[in-house]
Amino acid sequence: MKNQIETQNEKPMNEISLDYVGITNFKTLLVITREGKTYHLTPAIEVTINLPAEMKGAHMSRICESVVGIINDERNAHHSVEQLSLQALKKLKEKHPYSHAHLSLNFDFFYETRTPVTKKKTFEVTNVTVETWVQDGHEDLIAISIEYIGNTVCPHAMENSPEKRTHVQRALGKLTAKGTLDQMPSFESLVNILKKSFPAETYSILKTEDEQYVIDSMYDNPMFVEDVCRSILARSKESFNDKKLDLTAIVKSLESIHKHDVIAKGSTATYFKE
């Protein structure tokens, strides 16, 4: 068999180092078994590494093989996406040496809940992104980002209306926790913080009694988008006061009476300064 020419190892025309090269929007099946439950996930994956100035290109097939090899290794049960991410990057370094690398997996995560009054079981979906950074001479870092669909009720319009009428809107909340593997909180704990930080929880299925309960809860607790963002940060600080994490909250309100949206962003990083 004729030896293959490794064109990637040739010198490029312009010898300039690149920060990140790799694959993106790569999809595969991932099975996680955690606390007696099995989760089937289909993440969109991005894996990138740095490329030295003297290398023409990265061996993209090796990147794919390293990720898929770890995911499909049935000998090693995967108990978390975070742990698997680190394993994949370690494996990649054996085939494609790098000084720093980044891995991102984005997928839908389902959790079980019940409606507030009729107690009907429903499976709700939230979007999750797990990112991992590996760099020579530095700690391996992981970030988990959870997105949640909530709601806001304007307290200003309510306060200035004789009938206490106001406008409501769908709002999008995102909470990110970044730290080392041993400090990572569970997906469920992050979802729980987001759910409790809005005027009321949202559900895919609601009967009439449930709808009225949610509406009453919203009007009993009107909040600006800024209030929701601060609520997420305060609850995060309280829930994870025993962990060393950088926590970031972003809330965007899809305004119902304006043509624009409003947004608030904050971080609890000041709480974790040494």
Q: Please tell me the predicted confidence (pLDDT) of residue 274.
A: 42
Is residue 196 within 8 Å of residue 235, measured between CB atoms?
yes
Q: In angstroms, rounded to a whole number, what is the distance separating the alpha carbons of residues 197 and 32?
A: 28
Residues in the chain predicted with pLDDT less than 50, given as ranges, are 270-274
CA–CA gap between residue 157 and residue 162 (Å, rounded): 10
Please give the model's pTM, rounded to 2 decimal places: 0.89
Instruction: Assign domain 15-272 one CATH number from 3.10.270.10, 1.20.120.1200, 3.40.50.300, 1.20.140.10.
Output: 3.10.270.10
Q: What's phi and psi for 30, nearest 5 deg? A: -125, 130
DSSP three-state, residue 221: coil
Is the alpha carbon torsion for 237, 223, 197, 216 positive or negative? positive
How confident is the model at residue 242, as a pLDDT? 92
- The model's pLDDT over 120-146, given as tens digits with 9 standing for 90+, comes to 999 999 999 999 999 999 999 999 999
